[in-house]
Amino acid sequence: MLRERARRDGDFVYCRQASGELTIAELEELSNRIANALDQRGIGRGSRVATMLGNSIDHIGLFFALAKRGACQIPINIHLRGDGLAYILSSCECDYLIAEAELAEILQPVIVELSIANLFWRGGTGPRETDFASLLDYPDASPRAVETDPDAVVYICYTSGTTGLPKGVMMTDRMLRVAAWAAGRAGAPRDGDVYHLWTPFYHIGGCEILILALQRRVTLALVPKFSVSRFWDEVREFKATHMQFLGGVLALLLKQPATPRDREHGLRAAFGGGCPEPIWRAFEERFGVAIRECYGLTECSSFAMQNLTGKVGSVGQALPWFDITLVDDEGREVGPDERGEVWIRERVPGVLTPGYWKNPEATAATLVDGTLRTGDLARRDADGDFVYLGRKKDSLRRRGENIAAFEVERILNQHPDVEESAVVGVPNEIQDEDIKAVLRLREGTALEPLDLIKWCEGRMAYFQIPRFVAFVAEFPRTPSQRIRKELLPRDVAGCWDLETSGHALRR
């Protein structure tokens, strides 16, 4: 797609940022240059390349260069730390690691432990053979023959699923293209539209927009990260027409003081997932932007349902390439307006994941007889539109991040003073969830919550760190001695609160 667009539409601006523009032809040349440099270093079809990079033009060039080489990309959240980071790098068995040099101190222990020998550092001052800049200025930018296979696994995205450790969702070339096509379907762009792009490329949500900009004649307005205070100025500066939202992004924008300029912009549509009804109505009324609420998982090429009519509170209907049913605990289909688990089947072959990387047990439990059992709950109204009702699985969603309670509990339980922990989500003021950690301490010990938080900072991503901390003498339990989380209070009265502690988390 890139090569064809460069041939017939090379002068079109693919991406715009504060420091300048990148045309389609320039992206083709940049990605060719990097791809040829990677070829010289042995990266080719089947190579597994882990990337731990922020959003940048360099990263975009690398994304397409790896595709040209037929390599499998494994994007890693740049905020991961400690055991969570080590687990993913160990699990994916990467042949190469390309990372921001500023993350070297965090990564070094893992690199040594796993004996990762093939490294590239972006923005560093190390030896040229490990300097990402040596890929950017490689002298040969000529195009090479590219072998394509729509069913080749070209992307492994680690996602926190129901419980347990992260799972590597294998995505094929076909799935990435379908994800991008669905993103375009949600936003319905016109020629020349501009997408405000803040979503990290290590999320499928960011990756799919990179491909969308090849499928449609749209320009990406690239910003380093989401900023509440700068968002509307960025929209006006870049003349953005579309935005993507996750988690509490819309609520955060609504919390800003109203101004006479609230409707002085060209933004027409906001698409994504996780917009409660009160936020939906308030955002559309205040800013004049149409909400396009969607539902999906990485496992089903990012999108499974889309609301294209604007019905408030609904995630719409199934995409044309899926059949979706709602079932009870016995697997029987439920009737209209009844709650059921979302099960997804393909109508077009190859749009569901082939499975989880080197995790046959999880694959067998989630993909049963060709059906993706999501663990999510929904109901279908009289019009045939779906309404999302939450998760059966033991996880929560915070600031657009899926967080498995097990991951956080596993690390908390490593603290020398913690005997046992349970993590639950509590609603917050932006219609999102915050993490509440309930702890049972070892006999004879005492623990200050702030000391625990500081201990956590070097061991987990900032978004995994609990906001609230509470202590109990005993947990409510099942006859088999499992903690009964449903009996743990979701209120925060009397809990220690990170936000009022005066401590700023390191990010």
Residues 65-115 pLDDT 10s: 999 999 999 999 999 998 889 999 999 999 999 999 999 999 999 999 999
> At 141, which CATH number?
3.40.50.980
Q: How far, in Å, CA of 184 to CA of 178, rounded?
A: 10
**pLDDT of 359 above 90:** yes
Q: Is 411 found in the same domain as 425?
A: yes
Percent residues over pLDDT 90 in the chain: 80
Residue ending a domain, choose from 372, 391, 410? 391
Contacts with 502 (C-beta within 8 Å, 6 or more apart), sequence order: none
Q: Is 375 found in the same domain as 261?
A: yes
The DSSP H or E segment spanning 65 is: helix 57-69
Q: Which residue has the tokens 């939906």?
A: 280
Residue ending a domain, choose from 391, 414, 449? 391
Average pLDDT for 148-166:
83
Q: Is 430 found in the same domain as 375?
A: no
pLDDT category, 506, cuts 50, 70, 90?
confident
Local structure of residue 385 (DSSP, 8 states): -
pLDDT confidence of residue 275: 87
Residues 177-222 pLDDT 10s: 999 999 999 999 999 999 999 999 999 999 999 999 999 999 999 9
Query: What is the CB-side half-sphere exposure of residue 213 using CA atoms within 13 A?
Result: 28
Q: How far, in Å, CA of 107 to CA of 131, rounded?
A: 16
Write phi, then psi, for 463 (nearest 5 degrees).
-75, -10
Q: Is 487 found in the same domain as 402?
A: yes
**pLDDT of 477 above 90:** no
Q: Where are the alpha helices (DSSP H) in 255-320?
A: 277-287
Q: Is 365 found in the same domain as 465?
A: no
17 lies in a domain? no
Q: How far is the CA of 27 from the CAs of 93, 136, 315, in angstroms?
A: 29, 12, 35
Max mean pLDDT range (140-149, 232-241, 490-499): 232-241
Q: Is 257 found in the same domain as 142?
A: no
State the Cα torsion 454-434-85-455 to the nearest 10°: 10
Range from 227-231, 351-355, 406-410, 455-459 carrying the lowest mean pLDDT? 406-410
By the 10 Å C-beta count (0-12 exposed, 13-18 middle, 19+ buried), 465 is classed as buried
Q: Is 339 found in the same domain as 447?
A: no
486 lies in a domain? yes
**93 C-beta neighbours (distance < 10 Å), count:** 12
173 lies in a domain? no
**pLDDT of 161 above 60:** no
pLDDT confidence of residue 479: 54
Q: Is 428 found in the same domain as 382?
A: no
Average pLDDT for 143-167:
84
Residue ending a domain, choose from 148, 171, 205? 148
Q: How far, in Å, CA of 324 to CA of 334, rounded?
A: 12
Domains in the chain: how many in total? Answer: 3
Q: How far, in Å, CA of 126 to CA of 170, rounded?
A: 33
**33 C-beta neighbours (distance < 10 Å), count:** 20
Q: How far is the CA of 320 from the CAs of 307, 342, 348, in angstroms?
A: 13, 16, 9
Rg (CA), the chain: 23
> At 325, which CATH number?
3.40.50.12780
What domain range is 92 assigned to?
Answer: 24-148
pLDDT category, 162, cuts 50, 70, 90?
very low
Q: Is 207 found in the same domain as 256?
A: yes
CA 117 to mean position of chain CA atoms:
28
Asked whether 89 and 50 are in contact (CB, 8 A), the reply is: yes
Asked whether 466 and 435 are in contact (CB, 8 A), the reply is: yes
Residue/partner pairs of 107-112 with CB below 8 Å, 24 or more apart: 107/52, 110/85, 110/86
Q: Is 360 found in the same domain as 452?
A: no
Q: Is 402 found in the same domain as 382?
A: no
pLDDT category, 481, cuts 50, 70, 90?
low
pLDDT confidence of residue 146: 85
**pLDDT of 480 above 80:** no
Tokens of 84: 């969570």
pLDDT confidence of residue 497: 96
Q: Is 207 found in the same domain as 337?
A: yes
